[in-house]
Structure 1
Amino acid sequence: MFRSARVLVAALLAAGGAAVLPGTAVADYGPAVQVFLTPTPGSHVEVGVPLQISGSSHYGEASHWEWGEISFDGGETWDYLDLPPTSENWQYFYTPTVEGDLTILVRAHEDRRVGEPRAVVVHVGGPSTTRPDSCGVILGCRPFIADVYPTVDTDPRPVELGLAFRVDRPGQIIGVEVTRPGNPPTPVRVRLWDSTGGVLADVTGVPTYGYRISLPQNTQVAAGERYVVSYSTGGLPYRSTEWQFSGEVVFAPFRLPVSAGVYSYDDGFPTESWHNSSYGIVPMFAG
């Protein structure tokens, strides 16, 4: 499934992904709409750190985005992006090798037509120029994760599944969204941890809208610090997408590291990772 560190893999739209998406660049393309979702335009990225580049193609009534191309040299050369008919999102992994501005171009192919290239510029090794987006306390902001071929794991053992993240500004985690197969109407225990394994919030409840658990209003987080949100499966089946975090996700105000998906089998602080997997859990941030 994973051809190389720079080969696109088709992605399925993550549950809840149509909610508030700060920092997106949207471009018209005939009957389809092409959307860059990660990285956020103007963001800072590191030399030598794999970067996740992702987007979405919303289908028109009469036709669809069939495949695309991506370029990192101003359009001199293009790499192929595959998009199966059943998928809306795409994803690509790229490792910057030199400092300076990096322009990422993507163009779509549809019904023998080629769309105009759409661009996102990031600063490799340089400071971020991202315009802060407002993340309100009612809806909040959550990171976009384009799950790549999600599967259902039926491990009967209880496991703690989590997501490591940082934010670029102080604020609060107002809730956690957990996508479970079939959205069972059973209580879920969610926790927010600091980088040392200290518990900042611990809530058990039945998710609203099938996936959302609210956290106390005083659950504050600091800019640049590492945190983990997690939930306990209780032995129920859970969502798992291997290789999803093979590159860093930069989606303001969030930054998700390589191997951001973590787990533990001892009901404690999740720190282990497996095949750079994601587990259907994201934080909701306000600030």
Structure 2
Amino acid sequence: MSRSLRLSAVVAAVVLVLSGTSVAQAAEPTASFFTPTTQAGVAVGVPVIVTGTTLLGNTAPVTGTELTFDGGATWVEPTPVELFPDFRIDWSYLWTPTEAGTTEIAARPVTTAGPGAVSAPIVVHVGGETVVQPVNCSVRCEMSMPFVTEAGEHEDIDDQPVEVGVRVRVDRPGVMLGASTLRGNYRGTLVVRMWADGVLLAEQPYDHPGRMVQADFATPVPVEPGREYVVSFYSPQGGYMATEDYFTGTLVAAPFIAPHDGVHGAGVYHYGVGGGFPTDTYHDSSYSVLPEFRG
């Protein structure tokens, strides 16, 4: 889960306590979505990562979550990927749409007493265009990456010079400010870069020794909807974070789209001294590179 999603969960819990809202006032379990953003446009035949969370409430114990893609005619179970035993269950499902048209996806918790309330649906335009949603990126938006696999991220002990990154599009005009990442034991200088069609658009060294990296380009880079970019970090001694089998489908978290091309996910890398435009892929891995956008 991205730092932004973790922070949102903590803030929500604190607000309930400070406002005096009792658990009894929100007793029933509820299910809701992280991704895809409603009104997203996705491709026919290309998998889409559906993620969300089920709040446990304090009535009948929650035994699972169910999703429907056909108005409730059939239901499927997503995979639980992170458990907060006293609060919520986060989950993920890989959905491959097979025909063009508008699909509504809804979720419901399941308890020992039976199915719970059905969530408000998210709308997905299969084979259609994205309808831009009102996301406030007037200062900065970091790409949200909820957990989609139980394996989680780990430090890769590889110490070879490597460039790791993510293919990304945006759904509105603006500028790319830079990127953040979480790194492993290597604490020397990194270089954050941005590419389009193999051409280097910007780069910025980052020499702070901390584990959390947040590097801005000296000049923000203009970006346009629909064009694919790569945002990456070069490390001369490896030491990056990786999560295998993460980008198994397209991840839509407005204003960002991390596209799956039907064969490979959005995570990319390139080995070599000095780095270079990353195009190689390995097990649909994510390298925890989070582009940051303003628009």
Q: TM-score with structure 1 length normalisation?
A: 0.81
Question: Residue deviations 1:10-57, cap 9 Å, x none?
Answer: xxx234434689xxxxxx973655331111111111211111111134
2:2 is the alignment partner of 1:14: yes
> Aligned residue for 2:268?
262
Q: Kindly report structure 1 stretches of 4+ aligned residues shifted beyond 6 Å.
A: 61-64
The answer to whether the 8 Å contact 1:20/1:142 transfers is: no
- Within 2, Cα distance between the matches of 1:223 and 1:205? 32
> Aligned residue for 2:285?
277
2:286 is the alignment partner of 1:286: no
- Within 1, Cα distance between the matches of 2:60 and 2:138? 36
The answer to whether the 8 Å contact 2:187/2:210 transfers is: no
> Aligned residue for 1:83?
80
> Aligned residue for 1:115?
116
- Within 2, Cα distance between the matches of 1:44 and 1:92? 18
Q: Say how many residue pairs are matched.
A: 267
Cα distance change of structure 1 residues 193 and 65 upon mapping to structure 2, 3 Å threshold: farther
What's the CA shift for 1:127? Answer: 3.1
Percent of aligned pairs sharing the same letter: 32
The answer to whether the 8 Å contact 2:79/2:93 transfers is: no
- Within 1, Cα distance between the matches of 2:117 and 2:71? 13
Gaps of 5+ in 1: 1-12, 22-27
Q: The residue matched to 1:173 in structure 2 has which SS?
A: strand
Gaps of 5+ in 2: 10-24
More helix as a share of residues: 2
The answer to whether the 8 Å contact 2:182/2:211 transfers is: no
**Rg comparison, structure with higher value:** 2
Q: TM-score with structure 2 length normalisation?
A: 0.79
Q: Which residue identity is paired with 1:14?
A: S
Give the one of 162, 169, 172 matched to 1:169. Answer: 172
Q: Which residue identity is paired with 2:256?
A: F
2:135 is the alignment partner of 1:129: no
The answer to whether the 8 Å contact 1:207/1:213 transfers is: no
Question: Residue deviations 1:86-114, cap 9 Å, x none?
Answer: 36432111111112110112112245453
Q: Which residue identity is paired with 2:287?
A: Y
Q: The residue matched to 1:17 in structure 2 has which SS?
A: helix
